[in-house]
């Protein structure tokens, strides 16, 4: 939940006066997004989401995020569309923060993903990759393989307090990934954080994607590896091959995966699980217990990483390329 900054009515009315949305009727802080403050705003012209960008988001990245959403929405991908003010400056300022107004997406994220959800997510991810292919801007992924060692170093020796022997286990895994990380796979804009709370469904169909604030340029299929980690494990820690198969099939049906991409997927999934293990571990160690932020257990991603280390090929995810030998 996240409303870090409150907004005065008069300031919001002044902010909205740049838009053709009619007069302000109400606004309420909502529990959505962890990096920014979000408000549901109702005006005579409709319902919108107002986002105030907090400190954790680099202002220099905002044109990339705003531009990407405009680019994707123009190509028919269902995502929050920055509303155009009369002066054309979609990025404004409110309560001392950069701020933007977005269209409101109906739909709900699913707390209990099933295989059909995973198939839809795979398909939507491939669609996102296809539609962002001609997006002109780029943004480096600070949380890709090159960023993990500094993050690990920042955890110091504290890792062993979270789980016995964790320090050595991460060190070995990190060394393996750094030595073997692929450099020749297709790259493009990835979402990089497509967890269940960032995907809306309505009447059984995927209705939209939100929260593009980790989007960046990286290996496309790494995005699929992240989704395998985020969607296809059960609460008891077991990987669900039915979901894994559905997700990879969904992706492959919309953007066919090459043999090289499929072969790399287990290693990329090791990387994806290590990335979330490291960020959670870092937060676990550095965020004081008195903070409002709910800290997520890093060990969930240690278990996922261990699973992916044991995967020999995408067959272990339940996937088999059509026409390939069993």
Q: Which is nearer to a second copy, 3 or 268 (CB)?
A: 3
Q: How far is the CB of 152 from a second copy (least distance, A)?
A: 27
| Smaller CB separation from a second copy, 283 or 316 | 283
**Least Å distance between CB 87 and a second copy?**
25
31 binds a second copy (CB under 8 A): yes
Place of tokens 């929405």: 73
**Beta strands 108-109; 97-103: pairing state:** unpaired
According to the binding rule CB under 8 A, does residue 203 interact with a second copy? yes
Using the rule CB under 8 A, is 1 a contact of a second copy? yes
Q: What is the DSSP string of 157-169?
A: GGHHHHSTTHHHH
Question: Is 222 a binder of a second copy (CB under 8 A)?
Answer: no
CA distances from 2 to 31, 51, 208 (A): 5, 11, 21
Q: Does 178 bind a second copy (CB under 8 A)?
A: no
Question: Site for a second copy (CB under 8 A): how many residues?
Answer: 34
Strand boundaries in the chain, DSSP class E: 24-30, 37-43, 46-52, 92-94, 97-103, 108-109, 187-190, 199-202, 205-209, 216-219
Contact pick of 14, 22, 26, 160 for a second copy (by CB under 8 A): 26
Contact between 292 and a second copy per CB under 8 A: yes
What is the smallest separation between the CB atom of 37 and a second copy, expressed in angstroms?
10
* Nearest of 57, 54, 317, 20 to residue 213 by alpha carbon: 57
Q: For residues 107 and 280, what is the distance between their CA atoms, to the nearest angstrom?
A: 28
In whole angstroms, give the CA distance from residue 211 to residue 69: 10
Q: Integer distance in angstroms from the first to the last C-alpha of the chain?
A: 46
**Residue closer to a second copy (CB basis): 37 or 305:** 37
Stretch 35-74: interaction string toward a second copy, x if CB under 8 A: -----x-x----x---------------------------
> Is residue 326 within 8 Å of residue 320, measured between CB atoms?
yes
Task: For a second copy, give the closer residue by CB, 53 or 222.
Answer: 53
Beta bridge partners of 93: 98
Residue 290 in the binding site for a second copy (CB under 8 A): yes
Binding site for a second copy (CB under 8 A): 1, 3, 6, 8-10, 23-32, 40, 42, 47, 104-108, 110-112, 200-203, 289-290, 292
């Amino acid at each position: 939940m996240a409303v870090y900054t409150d907004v005065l009515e008069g300031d919001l009315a002044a902010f909205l006066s740049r838009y053709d949305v009619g007069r302000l009727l109400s606004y309420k802080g909502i529990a959505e997004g962890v990096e920014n403050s979000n408000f549901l705003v109702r005006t005579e012209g409709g319902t919108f989401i107002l986002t105030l960008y907090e400190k954790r988001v680099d202002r220099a990245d905002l044109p990339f995020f705003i531009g990407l959403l405009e680019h994707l929405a123009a190509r028919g991908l269902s995502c929050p569309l920055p509303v155009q003010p009369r002066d054309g400056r979609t990025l404004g300022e409110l309560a001392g923060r950069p701020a933007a107004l977005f269209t409101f997406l109906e739909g709900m994220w699913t707390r209990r993903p099933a295989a059909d959800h995973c198939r839809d997510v795979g398909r939507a991810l491939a669609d996102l990759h296809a539609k962002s292919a001609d997006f002109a801007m780029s943004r480096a992924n600070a949380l890709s393989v090159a960023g993990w060692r500094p993050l690990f170093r920042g955890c110091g020796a504290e890792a062993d307090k979270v789980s016995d022997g964790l320090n050595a286990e991460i060190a070995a895994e990190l060394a393996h990934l750094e030595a073997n990380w692929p450099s020749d796979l297709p790259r493009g804009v990835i979402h990089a954080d497509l967890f269940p709370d960032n995907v809306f469904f309505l009447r059984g169909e995927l209705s939209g994607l939100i929260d593009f604030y980790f989007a960046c340029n990286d290996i496309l299929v790494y995005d699929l590896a992240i989704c395998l980690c985020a969607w296809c494990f059960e609460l008891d820690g077991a990987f669900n091959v039915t979901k894994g198969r559905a997700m990879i099939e969904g992706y492959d049906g919309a953007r066919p995966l090459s043999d090289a991409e499929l072969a790399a997927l287990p290693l990329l999934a090791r990387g994806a699980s290590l990335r979330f293990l490291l960020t959670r571990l870092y937060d676990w160690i550095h965020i004081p217990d008195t903070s409002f932020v709910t800290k997520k257990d890093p060990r969930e991603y240690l278990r996922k990483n261990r699973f992916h280390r044991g995967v020999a090929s995408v067959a272990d995810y339940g996937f088999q390329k059509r026409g390939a030998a069993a």
